[in-house]
């Protein structure tokens, strides 16, 4: 079963000093490597900061383009992993290993074939 592990984190909870940031990035390096080694990761990317986003809306036939995210939220989507695992239980195990699961949220969504 294919799942997207959507990584949401609260920017206020991110490390404020270089050493702590380096440790966190080191933790993040381990997760995709472990998933690649076990051949369950099929893709994934880190996304730019939410303040670099552009939102597009079409209402009543009119297109509106604005800088920033669609909605004000405490947690921001920072990246994702695409995995192919036997079941939701395995996806839950992998999601719990992602560092920001301690301070943010990992949303697990089934991938629907196109």
**Residue 44: partners with Cβ closer than 8 Å, 6 or more residues away:** 5, 32, 79, 80, 81, 82
> Which pLDDT score, from 0 to 100, does residue 10 have?
83
Mean pLDDT of all residues in 1-22 = 90
User: What is the per-residue pLDDT across 19-76, written as a single tens digit (0 to 9) for each?
Assistant: 998 998 898 889 889 999 999 999 999 898 888 888 888 999 999 988 876 566 678 8
Within 10 A of 34 (CB to CB), how many other CB atoms are there?
13
Q: List, in order of start, the domains of the chain with CATH numbers.
A: 2-47+76-110 (3.30.70.1060)
- Give residue 12's pLDDT band: very low, low, confident or very high (50, 70, 90): confident
> Which pLDDT score, from 0 to 100, does residue 70 have?
59
Q: Phi/psi at 86 (nearest 5 deg)?
A: -65, -35
User: What is the per-residue pLDDT across 75-96, written as a single tens digit (0 to 9) for each?
Assistant: 889 999 999 999 999 999 999 9
């Amino acid at each position: 079963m294919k799942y997207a592990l959507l990584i949401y984190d609260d920017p206020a909870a991110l490390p404020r000093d270089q050493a702590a940031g380096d440790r966190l990035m080191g933790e993040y390096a381990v997760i995709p490597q472990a998933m690649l080694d076990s051949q369950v990761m099929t893709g994934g990317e880190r996304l730019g900061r939410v303040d670099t986003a552009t939102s597009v809306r079409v209402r009543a036939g009119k297109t509106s383009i604005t800088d920033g995210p669609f909605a004000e939220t405490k947690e921001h989507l920072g990246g994702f992993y695409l995995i192919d695992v036997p079941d939701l239980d395995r996806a839950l195990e992998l999601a719990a290993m992602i560092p920001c699961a301690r301070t943010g949220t990992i949303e697990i969504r089934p991938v629907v074939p196109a």
